[in-house]
Structure 1
Amino acid sequence: MKFGLRHIRYFLAVAEDLNFRRASEKLNISQPALSRAIQHLEADLGVQLFARSQSFVRLTEAGVVFRDGARAVLNGMEATVDLTRRINRGEAGALRVGYTDFAIAGALPELLKQFRLGQPGITIRPHHGVTSTQLRELDDDKLDIGFVTGPVRQAGLGRRAIQTDRPICIVHESHRFAQRKSLRLKDLADEDFVHGPAKDWAHFYDYLFPLCRRAGFMPRIVQEAFNSVGILGLVSCGMGITILTETIYNFASGGLVALPLEDVPEVMLTEAVWNSDKARLPTLQFVEFLDQQIALGQIGALPLARS
């Protein structure tokens, strides 16, 4: 086919008015030039699109079919051009977001909600992953930005501190500690613990284990679950206690008691991280949004525990 979008626009102008003179005036071209363009289009298609006489112009049956298809083509091309321009400005596209349990239980949902309100053309594609998985996916370009347990000290990654969480001990309501107002970490030395697998929860353990060693013990982990929901479920079964964060307890079911650890001032950090060398425009838009939220004091503060 030799015809292009110009011929389609000319054809639709005539098909709308069924008058070559008025169509040529709208297109700001001469009537003979418009007539020649339509003739070339018909010759290229091998069909007659218009029935013409001295007194009327009307679409043929083939012309009606071509008109409907041509409108769809032109509308699709205009939408494609608009989308291309918006992607070039970072206003459209997809953003692949990874998150840990701690992130999705804390600041992340509101952040994603507010970002979507400001950038409705960017599709958010969130998925759960432990910190080590997210870091690997960032390196493999399978993830645009990750919300991970920090601090992360990996070359090539941009970082922003998103939230800090205080640790708490979570026990079943029948546990001997359940009536206490708070605990010291050394009180837990002889307890059975429920936590995640070491290979998946390594970054959390990098935070927790030094605290326990300072208190004179290492946690005796007797049961494991992949995520926080599973851990809380096993604690609910009376299989042990756990140390998680206040944000996680905000989503715990009944029958569990949260106890502050009065001798642990250290908080756990959640960071947003991204590959600085591979950051696409939607990622840069999101980082700019995070910087605005940080400047406004909307993220980075200690969360409040559920009463």
Structure 2
Amino acid sequence: MRSDLRLIRYFVAVAEELHFRRAADRLGIAQPALSRAIQTLETELGVALFTRSNRNVQITPAGKVFLDRSHEMLSLMERATEDVHNAHHGRIGSLRIGYTDIAIAGPLPTLLKDFQGRHPQIILQPQHGVTLTQINRLTEGKLDIGFVTGPVNKDDYDEQPVQSERFVCVCADSHPFARRTGIQLTELATEDFVHGSSTDWQHFYDYLIPLCRRAGFMPRIVQEAFNTAGILGLVSCGMGVTVLTESVCLGHGPGLMVVPIEDLTERLITSAIWRRDHVVGPTGHFVNYLRDLPKL
């Protein structure tokens, strides 16, 4: 069978109108041409789709079955055409999004939900990774957008700050700081620190170490963990204190206290980053969405 969509559309019009002239008018073609087209279709199928008389046209049982399948075929073709256009314009596809512990604890989930509502046909694929891992994945083409501790300041990348947070001290609820409403950064000079691993948390180190040096000390790191859950777990056991951002500590587990560092005005920036040569398809739509956000 070689029937094309044109013949199927002609058949549907006749089946719905049950009148060749009205169907021809609806299609904008001559009635004889429509009659020949239906005859061609019936010949290809090897069955009669209609019974014809001088008074009326009736659809046959075989025609009813073919009408149902024709509606399915035309609907599928319409969806396929729409999907092709959406894919061409980046409105359909997948988007691989990296995030750090700090990013996912802030406004990122809300941003993703809002973007998904605007672009429901784009499948979001969040992937956890520290800043350095995300940069490597972006370079290798394994990630489309990263939410990292910024600024990154790398050639061939664009970035946009999306979150700015102040630093806080986190200690066990049995620590003397737990009874304080605030501390000074210099008071941490004699404390044992629990921190993220120096390799994975390098960008966070690049923020924290200069701040401590400016205050006249180097943090005495006695324990390291790979993620914030591990850091907070060690702190709650009294292994030391840590410096993190406010959002990470929201809803923290038992045994912890969050204490403001009153003289520390610097803030940690989380930035969205992407390759400058890869702003196409779903990535392009997400970048445009980010650029429409209020600037920090």
User: TM-score w.r.t. structure 1 length?
Assistant: 0.86
Corresponding residue number in structure 2 for 1:22: 22
**Offset from partner CA, 1:234-293 (integer Å, 9 cap, x none):** 322333221110111223234321122234333211111111111223322222222222
Q: Name whichever of 45-54 and 176-185 sits farther off.
A: 45-54
RMSD: 2.3
Alignment of 1:202-281 (within 5 A): 202-214=202-214, 215-224=216-225, 226-281=226-281
CA separation of 1:62/1:234 partners in 2, compared to 1, >3 Å: closer, same or farther?
farther
Distance (whole Å) between structure 2 residues aligned to residue 140 and residue 62 of structure 1: 56
Q: Which moved more, 1:169-178 or 1:42-51?
A: 42-51
Counterpart of 2:247 in structure 1: which amino acid? Answer: T
2:6 aligns with 6
- Counterpart of 1:305 in structure 2 is none
1:123-202 equivalence runs, <5 A: 123-202=123-202
- Give the letter aligned to residue 58 of structure 2: R
Q: Which position in structure 2 is the counterpart of 1:95?
A: 95
Match status 1:61 vs 2:61: yes
Query: Aligned partners of 1:185, 1:114: CA distance in 2, in Å?
Result: 38
Q: Deviation of residue 106 (structure 1)?
A: 1.6
How far apart, in 1, do the equivalents of 2:5 and 2:45 lie?
14
Between the aligned partners of 2:42 and 2:233, the Cα distance in structure 1 is: 71
Give SS of 2:292's match: helix
Separation (CA, whole Å) in 2 of partners of 1:250 and 1:232? 12
**Amino acid of the structure 1 residue aligned with 2:281:** L
Give CA-to-partner distance per residue, 1:35-63, whole Å, 9 cap, x none.
21122222233333333344443333332
| Partners of 1:219 and 1:36 in 2: CA distance | 90
Once residues 167 and 59 of structure 1 are traced to their aligned partners in structure 2, the CA distance between those partners, rounded to angstroms, is 76
Tell me whether 119-128 or 275-284 shows the greater mean CA deviation: 119-128
Q: CA deviation at 1:186?
A: 3.5
Q: Secondary structure at the match of 1:166?
A: strand
Q: Distance in 2 between matches of 1:142 and 1:235?
A: 34
The percentage of aligned residue pairs carrying the same residue is 50
CA distance in 1, matches of 2:285, 2:140: 21
SS state of the match for residue 64, structure 1? helix
- 2:45 paired with 1:50: no
**In structure 1, C-alpha distance between the alignment counterparts of 2:96 and 2:108, rounded to whole Å:** 14
Deviates more, 1:141-150 or 1:166-175: 141-150
Residues paired across the two proteins, number: 295
**Greater shift in the superposed pair: 57-66 or 141-150:** 57-66
Q: Gapped runs of 5+ residues in structure 2?
A: none
Q: How many Å separate the matches in 2 of 1:29 and 1:54?
A: 21
User: 1:46–1:110: structure 2 CA closer, same or farther, 3 Å change rule?
Assistant: same
Read off the aligned partner of 1:280 and give its amino acid letter.
V
| Conserved 8 A contact 2:279-2:287 | no
In the superposition, relative to structure 1, how do residues 218 and 72 fare at CA in structure 2: closer, same or farther (>3 Å)? same
- The 1-side partners of 2:220 and 2:43 are apart by 83
- Residue type at the aligned position of 1:217: M
TM-score norm. by structure 2 comes to 0.89
Residue 258 of structure 1 aligns to a residue whose secondary structure is strand
Query: More displaced, 20-29 or 123-132?
Result: 123-132
SS at match of 2:29: coil
The residue aligned with 1:303 is none
* Cα shift readout 1:210-255 (whole Å, capped 9, x = no counterpart): 333443223323242x322332233223332211101112232343
Query: Paired residue for 1:116?
Result: 116
